[in-house]
């Protein structure tokens, strides 16, 4: 069994609310089990640049409510080179670190898996941390719930303006190639249509739907467009629709980076705590090259290989059908 002498913890890729509760759980579970912990700043960049510090129980006091990540994060391309990995490995060895918890999305896991295959004496455990909710092996990823709530709050405000002015808003939300945020936010805000990367939407059908809303005396309409949608970009889409739907004044809003920060929801605080605790326990029990996730409210351990090759977010067609019915 791989005995952990010292544990490194890092966050990498886009920040996500819930990362801090997760870091707190990792640090305290390790210390509780007499394993010293080192925090790596800025993800893999800090491993290469030797930017790491010893963490104590009090290093993670009062961070449950904080958005972002106290360890900072980065998208580090150098880590994907052999030289970058070798430098990172030597830095870990020099500090006596032989296990890593990496919190992030698929890019983070790809790096972790390659690194651990090259240097199997460093055990790695992944924790799904991304607002996109697109990792196999966990029904929810850290940050998805908070980001969706943030999006809902913003769209509710836009609805006030849309309604007051009889306007049609096209609103773009994040999610990279995943429509998870768009779908959840769309249902929660009563969107008239939701455009997702997982399903192509014929523009004629969209126009028909919006026109029928017009004739049904709707005073406003909201169309949510996931950033990964392939209908040709939100501005072109809005322009094409405006030509046909005359009574509404059409506006475009791109929510952008306001979706990623902010204090984590109760759900993300609990998810972060559970996954951080489970990741350290899994490492102690000898697991490596795996990811801890939550499925049916139970901790599930999945190999990183599987997490990277499968896709979790399967479009729930029944939810989209429901949106069409409820928005008449
Ligand atoms: O993966 C999280 C995410 O916010 C995506 O939804 C989005 O496409 C991307 O990161 C934006 O990345 P950046 O902050 O590097 O521009």
Q: Which two tokens stand for residue 1?
A: 């069994």
Number of domains the chain is built from: 2
Whether the predicted pLDDT of 93 surpasses 90: yes
- Residues linked to residue 8 through DSSP beta bridges, in sequence order: 38, 100
CATH number where 185 lies: 3.40.50.460
Closest protein CA for atom 2 of ligand 1: 14
Atom of ligand 1 nearest to the CA of 75: 15
Residue whose token pair is 């984590």: 264
Last residue within a domain, chosen from 230, 260, 290? 260
Mean pLDDT of the chain: 94
Distance 137 CA to ligand 1 centre (A): 21
Q: What is the pLDDT of residues 245-303, one digit of tens each?
A: 888 899 999 999 999 999 999 999 999 999 999 999 999 999 999 999 999 999 999 99
Print the domain residue range for 116: 7-143+264-309
Pseudo-torsion of CA 145, 290, 100, 140, nearest 10°? 0
DSSP code at position 112: H
User: Is residue 1 predicted with pLDDT exceeding 70?
Assistant: no
Lowest mean pLDDT among 10-14, 121-125, 190-194, 219-223: 219-223
H or E stretch covering 197: none
Q: Quick one: what percent of the chain has pLDDT higher than 70?
A: 99
What tokens does 166 get? Answer: 């009889």
Residue 328 lies in a domain: no
How many angstroms separate the alpha carbon of residue 176 from the centre of ligand 1?
7
Whether 169 maps to a domain, the answer reads yes
For 41, 138, 151, 218, 271, the CA distances from 64, given in Å and listed in that order, are 18, 21, 21, 42, 12
CATH value at residue 100 = 3.40.50.450
**Is 126 in the same domain as 190?**
no
Task: Give the closest residue to 152 by CA, choosing from 251, 230, 265.
Answer: 265
Distance 107 CA to ligand 1 centre (A): 11
The CA 3 to ligand 1 mean position distance, Å, reads 36
* Beta strand extents in 245-321 (DSSP E only): 249-254, 290-295, 298-303
| Separation of alpha carbons 9 and 262, rounded Å | 22
Tokens encoding 44:
């893999």
Neighbouring-strand partners of residue 55:
37
**Candidate from 132, 182, 261 with most ligand 1 atoms within 8 A of CB, to mutate:** 132
Average of pLDDT values for 167-193? 96
Is residue 39 helix, strand or coil? strand
Q: For atom 9 of ligand 1, which residue has the closest CA?
A: 176
Most confident listed range (89-93, 165-169, 214-218):
89-93
Structure token pair of residue 220: 């406003």
Contact 327, 191 (CB under 8 A): yes
Residues 293-316: what's their mean pLDDT? 88
Tell me how far CA of residue 75 lies from CA of 14, 62, 105, 175, in angstroms: 8, 27, 11, 17
Q: Which atom of ligand 1 is nearest to the CA of 16?
A: 2
pLDDT for the residue numbered 317: 84
Cβ(98) – ligand 1 distance below 6 Å? no
Domain boundary among 260, 276, 291: 260
């Amino acid at each position: 069994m791989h005995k952990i002498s010292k544990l490194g913890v890092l966050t990498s890729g886009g920040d996500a609310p819930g990362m801090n509760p997760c870091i707190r759980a990792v640090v305290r579970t390790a210390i509780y089990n007499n394993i010293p912990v080192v925090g790596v700043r800025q993800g893999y960049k800090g491993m290469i640049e030797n930017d790491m510090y010893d963490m104590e129980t009090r290093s993670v006091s009062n961070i449950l409510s904080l958005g972002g990540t106290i360890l900072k994060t980065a998208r580090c391309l150098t880590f994907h080179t052999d030289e970058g990995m070798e430098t990172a490995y030597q830095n870990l060895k020099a500090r006596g670190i032989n296990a890593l918890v990496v919190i992030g999305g698929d890019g983070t896991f790809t790096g972790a898996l390659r690194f651990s295959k090259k240097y199997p004496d460093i055990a790695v455990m992944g924790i799904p941390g991304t607002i996109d909710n697109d990792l196999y092996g966990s029904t929810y990823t850290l940050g998805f719930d908070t980001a969706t709530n943030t999006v809902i709050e913003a769209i509710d405000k836009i609805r006030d303006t849309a309604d007051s002015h009889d306007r049609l808003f096209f609103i773009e939300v994040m999610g990279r190639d995943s429509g998870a945020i768009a779908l959840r936010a769309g249902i929660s805000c009563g969107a008239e249509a939701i455009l997702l990367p997982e399903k192509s939407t014929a523009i004629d059908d969209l126009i028909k739907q919006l026109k029928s809303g017009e004739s049904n005396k709707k005073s406003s309409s909201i169309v949510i467009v996931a950033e990964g949608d392939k209908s040709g970009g939100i501005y072109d889409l809005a322009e094409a629709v405006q030509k046909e739907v005359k009574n509404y004044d059409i506006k475009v809003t791109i929510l952008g980076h306001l979706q990623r920060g902010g204090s984590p929801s109760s759900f993300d605080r609990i998810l972060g705590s559970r996954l951080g605790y489970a990741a350290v326990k899994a490492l102690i029990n000898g697991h490596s090259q795996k990811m801890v996730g939550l499925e049916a409210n139970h901790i599930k351990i999945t190999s990183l290989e599987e997490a990277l090759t499968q896709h979790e977010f399967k479009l729930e067609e029944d939810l989209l059908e429901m949106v069409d019915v409820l928005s008449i």
